[in-house]
Amino acid sequence: INPALDLFHEIEVLKKEKNAVVLAHYYQEPDIQDVADYIGDSLGLAQQAAKTSADMIVFAGVHFMAETAKILNPSKKVVLPDLKAGCSLADSAPAAAFKAFKEQHPGHVVISYINCTADIKAMSDIICTSSNAQKIIESVPADQPIIFAPDKNLGAYLIKKTGRDMVLWNGACMVHEIFSQQKILKLKAQHPDAKLIAHPECEEAILQYADYIGSTTQLLKFAVTDAANKFIVATETGILHQMQKDAPGKTFIPAPPDNMCACNDCPHMKLNTLEKLYLCMEYEQPEILMDEQIRLAALKPIQRMLEISK
Ligand code: 13P
Ligand code: SF4
Q: What is the DSSP string of the chain?
A: --TT--HHHHHHHHHHHHTEEEEEETTS-HHHHHH-SEEE-HHHHHHHHHH---SEEEEES-HHHHHHHHHH-TTSEEE-S-TT---HHHHT--HHHHHHHHHHSTT-EEEEESSS-HHHHHT-SEEE-TTTHHHHHHTS-TTS-EEEESBHHHHHHHHHHH----EE--B--TTTT-B-HHHHHHHHHH-TTPEEEE-TTS-HHHHTT-SEE--HHHHHHHHHHSS-SEEEEES-TTHHHHHHHH-TTSEEEEPPBSSTT--SS-TTGGG--HHHHHHHHHH--SB----HHHHHHHHHHHHHHHHHH-
178 lines ligand 2 (CB under 6 A): no
Please state the CATH superfamily assignment of the domain spanning residues 181-254 in this structure. Answer: NadA-like (3.40.50.10800)
Locate the domains of the chain by residue range: 7-86+269-289, 89-173+297-309, 181-254
Whether 201 is in the pocket of ligand 1, judged by its Cβ within 6 Å, is yes
pLDDT over 80 (residue 260): no
Which pLDDT tens digit goes with each residue over 34-65? Answer: 999 999 999 999 999 999 999 999 999 999 99
CB 42 less than 6 A from any atom of ligand 1: yes
Q: What is the pLDDT of residue 2?
A: 87
Ligand 1 centre distance from Cα of residue 89 (Å) = 11
- Tens of pLDDT, residues 105-151: 999 999 999 999 999 999 999 999 999 999 999 999 999 999 999 99
pLDDT for res 118: 98
Name the band, by pLDDT with cuts 50, 70 and 90, for residue 263.
confident
The whole-angstrom separation of Cα 125 and Cα 293 is 16
Centre of ligand 1 to C-alpha 2, Å, is 34
pLDDT beyond 90 at 259? no
Whether residue 71 has its Cβ less than 6 Å from ligand 2: no
Q: For residue 40, which atom of ligand 1 is closest to its CA?
A: 2
Ligand 1 center–CA 153 separation, angstroms: 13
pLDDT digits (tens, 9 = 90+) for 187-220: 999 999 999 999 999 999 999 999 999 999 999 9
pTM as predicted? 0.97
Which of the four pLDDT bands, split at 50, 70 and 90, describes residue 262? Answer: confident
Domain 89-173+297-309 is found in CATH 3.40.50.10800: yes
For the cut 80, the answer to whether the pLDDT of residue 261 exceeds it is no
Mean pLDDT of the chain: 97
42 CA closest ligand 1 atom index: 3
Mean pLDDT across the stretch 296-310?
96
Mean pLDDT value across residues 171-190: 96
In which band, very low, low, confident or very high, does the pLDDT at 162 lie, cut at 50, 70 and 90?
A: very high
Ligand 2 contacts CB of residue 41 (under 6 A): no
Q: Is 235 in the pocket of ligand 1 (CB under 6 A)?
A: no
Task: Calculate how far, in angstroms, residue 38's C-alpha sits from the geometric centre of ligand 2.
Answer: 19
Q: Decide if 7-86+269-289 and 89-173+297-309 have a common fold.
A: yes
Segment 152-161 shows an average pLDDT of 98
Query: Between 3.30.2350.10, 3.30.470.20, 3.40.50.10800, 2.60.40.3080, what CATH number should domain 7-86+269-289 receive?
Result: 3.40.50.10800
Does the pLDDT at position 224 exceed 90? yes
Which residues on adjacent β-strands are paired with residue 146? 109
87 CA distance to ligand 2 middle (Å): 5
pLDDT value, residue 252: 98
Q: What is the pLDDT of residues 267-289, one digit of tens each?
A: 999 999 999 999 999 999 999 99
For residue 310, is pLDDT > 90? no
pLDDT given for residue 1 in this prediction? 84
